[in-house]
A and B are shown apart, each in its own frame.
Chain A
């Protein structure tokens, strides 16, 4: 294990298929047309000195350090901006070039501090390296003249107005203008890579300096702290505070972010077992060297003081916790579960697998309930987010998977975003999408709220259909109406690839007058003309891709909307190629994986129904047990069964169902009714208030395993430090299983993956060996697709013919009326993650200290609510209080909040309505009333007290 330094080729790779051959320093090189001389040289190992170029950014040509000589050409062109030509002969080092370079470096160094020995970038500074490379030996100009280095003149002690103090406002990195060489890399990174445009170069010539926003501090600017500029900076000007505090790393491991479904890979740069920094991995196929604030900086929670590292038990959930040994905790848990099963039957217990834990861990948890407890009561938090995707896409295409890889967006001409907020919830993919939009792709946004994508620097949605929450099915069907009625169907595709009879039934259905834009305008509030125009653009604008998120699934008709989306893509032939497709943006890092691994109560790993004899048999043979052939309970069903007294024991790994699931009071009543709740997590989460056993978990940095991202990409996580709690989560589940009498003997997660591959046809060729070799693979990965499958349904659908399903709009029961006249919808923001258990324990909270309620000025005025006031939000389920934020981002009649903080208890007001097919809760629509308030509600106060009580740990 050593520190991996990735090669910087100086300029981006050319995608051209034509090859060009030239000679560089006497060596013949063949590269794609459009490659720069700089990159061509690096391909054969010749590193031309450079400062303003780096291969993540377009060449800029400002530093002139990279000059070369070309036979037959005048002058000394910059190699970063000069493309190769056939037969060129290039010299990278001549006396003339050496003199030019030394001159350039001398100028730079004459306005740069000479404190290399104490500089945080010592050993990792390109300016330092280049000074060495060009043989700079002395600097003729002193610091007595104009400079940016010293606060006061060295001649007369007067204040130096060119000098600027350090900006330490961002909690994760510093900006020290005195070290800036104005290479512009940060500015370009913020534009090209991140797409935020927070930085500019202020002033001209010698006066120019990098400036966030309008010469503001970083924290006051538009900066979203993605770290792209820090990554691009060749000097110590922009430096991670952790590097300043610790020093340069000595080894590194490649691992995968444990936050969202983008699945960015990172190089964890280490000193011993201490993380120096997380650097986005250039070869990461999901992120290509980019990251967001969460993966890049918010890993500190793993060492947070509130992390629990010893197992604890208690007789009743109202008792204080007792710290015990692992043996005692495991024996206690197993005994209680055994007693419950003896008294109440084998179906009275169950498990919840985690979308945050690894594939291997999830697999073991569902195996424990199927093979150990003898039931199928396993579910996962995907129930509350993307289960409708599973059902809907499976009906239409025969598999629940998203159809594209992320790179596919580079080829899209039209992007339709429905109920997703990629710049906040999937930021790195959001940046990719923005890049494509800046290149000219058209954008349609369907969302009740004006998300950032609708209008952000250099991006403007062509259409924003700001629908009333709960009318997705009507809108998407109206889009189909226009496509069918105006003859925009891709008939050749439909005839060849789909069931023609079903298509005709469907076409007749959508053509009905009640599905016309004019009729749907009355329900949704979206002007008919906009619906028509958006439909035309989607159908005729070239390659069109649909991206959707929880704004689609978390509705009583979530599954229906997913099928309506699939219909749209099939009718227009937007499937089976690059640039098109139907793409669910998954929330948590391993939602895809937890679904793949058989977390659902009706499905074995690999999406095979539990009633499927052959599939069940293969597991029965491998596990040496008989499996229950009936589907088990889903999460909401578990709660209902618990309240009915039929469900008594729950093993919950890495999920905080009390905070994340709707109708909090219902959930807490269910948990209270259970005899044994086992919570396995890093922290005493909200669910643990009702737990009897707490098993401390390990963070993703402390174990080996794999995650599967939203594009079905399986990637490794690697252990970079010893688990603070002693064990990886897979080991803990194994201890429980053993106490239950199962003879498991996995000594490494790779053995679990081998078992998964043996038993799951779509994973047949997946192994750690393959992942170590190739970095990642997108399932299906088997003999038919040995290298995996980036784009699905290329020649035909998994199920054979694509299925058009009729998508009748059924209004939700959650209706507004005189008592509850407004619709509350929920979402998330960039800096916090899900229930916030990790991000709240990092400096990310500086960006989002609390959940607030967004309300339209008109609704606010009507109720006498001013910006920043406390307001009470009441629904049929309960009431909470938040601070109001008056904004026209939400339409009149709609209010919006996030659910990242436990004390705001947003789920107290959400109801137990759910998707008809999957019971995915209807988070996105709750009828509410808003009124001014003086502070937290009684429930919130009581809850605070309950939390404090439930978290008590008895002194030893």
Chain B
């Protein structure tokens, strides 16, 4: 079980990324970023942004870029 907070956020972000990566009609990174913005509370987003700032271990490519996109804003 992933009770470590960052690990859990990574797992959740990867799950989201997988869904959007499969879509052919929309941009996977934009879709993932949008989802995180719409459904994650600010502290969870801060948590994953922080994790990416520290290397982003375990994050798949799509969610990684999505988080970077969120952080860039």
Residues in A792-812 with C-beta less than 8 Å from chain B: 805-808, 810
A602 to B40, CA, bound (A): 9
Q: Tell me how far the C-beta of B26 lies from the nearest C-beta in chain A, rounded to whole angstroms.
A: 9
Inter-chain contact B39/A631, CB cutoff 8 Å? yes
Whether the Cβ atoms of A810 and B12 lie closer than 8 Å is no
Q: Is B42 part of the contact surface with A, judged by Cβ < 8 Å? A: yes
Can you sample 5 A-B contacts with CB below 8 Å?
A: A602-B38, A611-B38, A640-B8, A641-B43, A806-B24
Q: Quick check: which of A84-92, A501-509, A531-539 contacts chain B, the rest being far away?
A: A501-509
**Residue B5 interfacial (CB < 8 Å):** yes
Residues on A with C-beta less than 8 A from B2 are 912
State whether the Cβ of B69 lies closer than 8 Å to any Cβ in chain A: no
Contacts of B23 in A (CB 8 A): 805-806
Chain A facing B: main interface SS = loop
Contact flags A895-937 to B (C-beta < 8 A → 1, else 0): 0000000000000000110101111000000000000000000
Task: Please give me the residue from chain A that is nearest to B15 by CB atom.
Answer: A916
Q: Which of B40-62 touch A at CB < 8 Å?
A: 40-44
Query: In angstroms, how far is the closest chain A Cβ from the Cβ of B9?
Result: 9
* Contact assessment for A631 and B24 in the assembled complex, using a CB-CB cutoff below 8 Å: no
A955 within 8 A of partner (CB): no
When distances are taken between beta carbons in the complex, the residues of chain A under 8 Å from B73 are none
5 tightest CB-CB pairs across the interface, nearest first? A916-B15, A808-B22, A505-B24, A630-B42, A633-B41
C-alpha gap A925/B54 in the complex (Å) = 34
In the complex, per-residue mask of A657-690: 1 if CB is within 8 Å of any chain B CB, else 0: 0000001001000000000000000000000000
- In angstroms, how far is the closest chain B Cβ from the Cβ of A556? 7
Given A663-B1, A917-B35, residue A808 in contact with residue B41 (CB < 8 A)? no
Residues of B within 8 A of A559 (CB): 19
Cα distance A808–B40 in the bound complex, in angstroms: 23
**Are A916 and B38 touching (Cβ within 8 A)?**
no
Give the CA-CA distance A917 to B42 in the complex, in Å: 17
A253: Cβ under 8 A from any B Cβ? no
A505-B24, A646-B43 known; A631 and B38 CB under 8 Å?
Answer: yes
Interface SS, B side = helix
A609 and B38 contact, CB distance less than 8 A: yes
Q: Which of A375-434 contact B (CB under 8 A)?
A: 376-377
Q: Does A637 have its Cβ within 8 Å of any Cβ on chain B?
A: yes
| CB pair B1 A509 closer than 8 Å | no
* Chain B nearest Cβ from A630, distance in angstroms: 5
Closest to A669 in B: B3
Query: Which chain B residues lie closer than 8 Å to A637 at the CB level?
Result: 40-41, 44
Residues of B within 8 A of A602 (CB): 38-39
With A502-B25, A806-B22: A556-B15 Cβ-Cβ less than 8 Å: yes
A917 to B18, CA, bound (A): 11
Is residue B16 within 8 Å, beta carbon to beta carbon, of the partner chain?
A: yes
Alpha-carbon gap, A509 to B24, bound state (A): 9
Cβ contact of A911, chosen from B1, B16, B24, B44, cutoff 8 A:
B1
Map CB proximity to B onto A605-648 as digits: 1 under 8 Å, 0 otherwise.
00001010000000000000000001111100100110110100
The reply on A601 being an interface residue by CB < 8 A is: yes
Asked whether A347 is an interface residue with its Cβ less than 8 Å from the other chain, the reply is yes
Q: Are B3 and A666 in contact, with the CB atoms below 8 A?
A: yes
Report the minimal beta-carbon distance from A255 to chain B, rounded to whole angstroms.
36
Which A residues are CB-close (under 8 A) to B43?
Answer: 347, 641, 646
Residues in A295-354 with C-beta less than 8 Å from chain B: 347
A634 to B39, CA, bound (A): 9
Q: Are A808 and B18 also in contact (CB < 8 A) when A644-B5, A911-B1, A919-B12 are? A: yes
